[in-house]
Amino acid sequence: MTKTLMKDDLAQQHERLGRAVTAIVTEYASSLDSRKVTSTATPQDLLEIFAEPFPEQGIAAEEILARFTDEVLVHAMQVPSPRYFGQFNPTPLPIGVWADALTSVLNQNAGAWRNGPTSAMIEARVLRWLCELVGYGPESFGTLASGGSEANLISLKCARDRVYQQSVQNGLRSAPGDLIVYASEQVHFSIERSVDILGLGRSSLRKIPTGHDFHIQTDALQKQLDEDRRAGSVPCCIIGIAGATSTGVIDPLTELAQVAAENNCWYHIDAAYGGTLAFSDRHREKLNGMALADSITFDPHKWMFVPFACGAVLVRDGGRVLRDAFDITPEYLNEDRGGADVEFDFFRYGQMGTRRFNSLKLWMALKFMGRQGYAAAIEKQIELTDYFAGHIDELSDFERVNEIETAVCCFRFLPAHYTNAMGVEQDRLQQKLQQEIERNGEAWIHTTVLNGRRVLRININSFLTERRHIDDLLELLVRRGREIVAANVG
């Protein structure tokens, strides 16, 4: 079938596809709770399903949608499930999901103001709201990014350029010494990648030890700063973490601000996950000191239930800092309308050229939920995490590893037979339990490494998760744990 996409056909296609897709989405949403969270398909199985020749002639949209339902959807990780307890991946808000469709309909290029006038204004508005939320003043600004990794990269570029301005033109050839970045050993890997991309080299990242609570040790940080200065290096940036990837814990942000000021360092806070605490009167104080940061990474696609991709960088001293770091004016975008629109050319604020109108889903989500809606959602998720952690404490075969500061709990399965086993054997046991749960698809949890040992980790990031899902998870952990021990020991 050779197709010509005529303009008269456009509305009809949307009408037909819209109905068909709505039916798929509705059926999916209503079956989520009872669906297995994982598929048992192997990479080979999926390779075979999608091993198809290059499409020569188009086929009917209905046929394609059927493939989606039968083959894509069923083998997908059911991230929106209330039984998905994985990384910081939320159940997306319906308003965000449909905002994504509306974004595609308009297909604004949110790079230059002229290509997306309303998108630029909405992006500026949501950035202002986020800046207010974290306690920044009116001069602050920022930019949306693809996620926390890009937001961290953009922030570190600002840090590098502040400390050594010539690097923008000349690179680091004549830098006054090695520029060093400091963060706790719990730092997200994107920071290590960023220092590499920025030409500082991965060895310029100092991973500072943490205490028993997984918070950075500021005395160890100070010692490292002194040592580096004595060796002729230039301390460039100190990073605090608000919601660490593995444990969800929060560094002492005010103390770090002081160390950064005393050492003339850019202060960045990676609040990709934990920034959302700012919505809650009950939990906001955990972020005390956040407004002292020069820059903040804050990902709406983590704990604000906005569908991927939607990250943000906020900069205390405003857009000028970002433009100094990133602005380039190519001829084809140099129309000079008298100035004001340049401020809303978001391609000048980061590394993307063509940019998706991602502010729409964030704007709609914020308007839909409001401050109070977000506060209630995250307070409930923290309460559920406390509830889970309390039960883990009561189970003799399990041991909790971290304090609950957000909605993350790490723990280990250590039945009597394994308490004196070698560390690697204990590690294997955690993996075995994780894999058993994954294989059966009754829930999804994952593992990480803390203090050199593998631990199980859950994050509650679905507003669909209720106490009964947590009870089911606890029962599942106990049941599968017993089965593994019985098979290995018995």
Ligand X SMILES: Cc1ncc(COP(=O)(O)O)c(C=O)c1O
Binding site for ligand X (CB under 6 A): 87-88, 147-149, 152, 188, 190, 243, 245, 270, 272-273, 299, 311
Of residues 92 and 243, the one with the C-beta less far from ligand X: 243
Where do the H-state alpha helices sit in 78-188? Answer: 94-106, 117-134, 148-163, 167-170
Are 296 and 275 a contacting pair, CB within 8 Å?
A: yes
Minimum distance, C-beta of residue 452 to ligand X, in the bound complex (Å): 20
**Residue 410 and residue 214: Cα distance in Å, rounded?**
12
Identify which of residues 270 and 294 has a Cβ nearer to ligand X in the complex: 270
Q: Residue 309 Cβ, how far from ligand X at the closest point, in Å?
A: 7
Least CB distance to ligand X at residue 286 (A): 15
Closest CB to ligand X among 349 and 398?
Answer: 349
Supply the minimum distance, in Å, between the C-beta of residue 190 and ligand X: 5
Query: Residue 67 class from Cβ within 10 Å (0-12 exposed, 13-18 middle, 19+ buried)?
Result: middle
**Taking the CA of residue 127 as centre, how many other CA atoms within 13 Å lie in the half-sphere pointing to its CB?**
29
Nearest residue to 347 (alpha-carbon basis) of 159, 123, 157: 123
| CA–CA distance, 198 with 156 (Å, rounded to integer) | 8
| Residue 34 beta carbon to ligand X: minimum distance, rounded to whole angstroms | 28
Minimum distance of ligand X from residue 140's CB (angstroms): 20
Nearer to ligand X, 157 or 480 (CB): 157
Question: Considering the complex, what minimum distance in angstroms separates the CB of residue 238 from ligand X?
Answer: 16
C-alpha distances out from residue 374 to 136, 301, 368, Å: 19, 13, 10
Q: How far is the CB of 87 from ligand X (least distance, A)?
A: 6
Residues 6+ apart with CB under 8 A from 434: 445, 446, 447, 456
Q: Which is nearer to ligand X, 206 or 457 (CB)?
A: 457
Closest-CA residue to 474 (of 488, 485, 458): 458
Based on CB atoms, which residue is closest to ligand X, 429 or 456?
Answer: 456
Cα dihedral across residues 359, 310, 312, 94: positive or negative:
positive
Residues 193 and 157: beta-carbon distance below 8 Å: no
Is there a contact between 319 and 349 (Cβ–Cβ < 8 Å)?
A: yes
Output the smallest distance, CB 296 to ligand X, in A.
11
Token pair for residue 20?
A: 């068909």
Comparison of 161 and 270: residue with beta carbon closer to ligand X: 270
With a CB cutoff of 8 Å and minimum separation 6, the contacts of 91 are 79, 80, 81, 82, 84, 305, 461, 462, 463, 464
**∠ Cα 330 110 239 (to 5°):** 90
> By C-alpha distance, which of 281, 475, 466 is closest to 384?
466
Tokens standing for residue 328: 């380039």
Which one, 115 or 351, has the nearer CB to ligand X?
A: 351
Count of residues for the chain?
490
**Least distance in angstroms from the C-beta of 490 to ligand X:** 39
Rounded distance between C-alpha atoms, residue 84 and residue 78, angstroms: 7
Closer by beta carbon to ligand X, 188 or else 391: 188
The Cα–Cα gap between 360 and 103 comes to: 7
State the nearest-atom distance from the C-beta of 299 to ligand X, in Å: 5
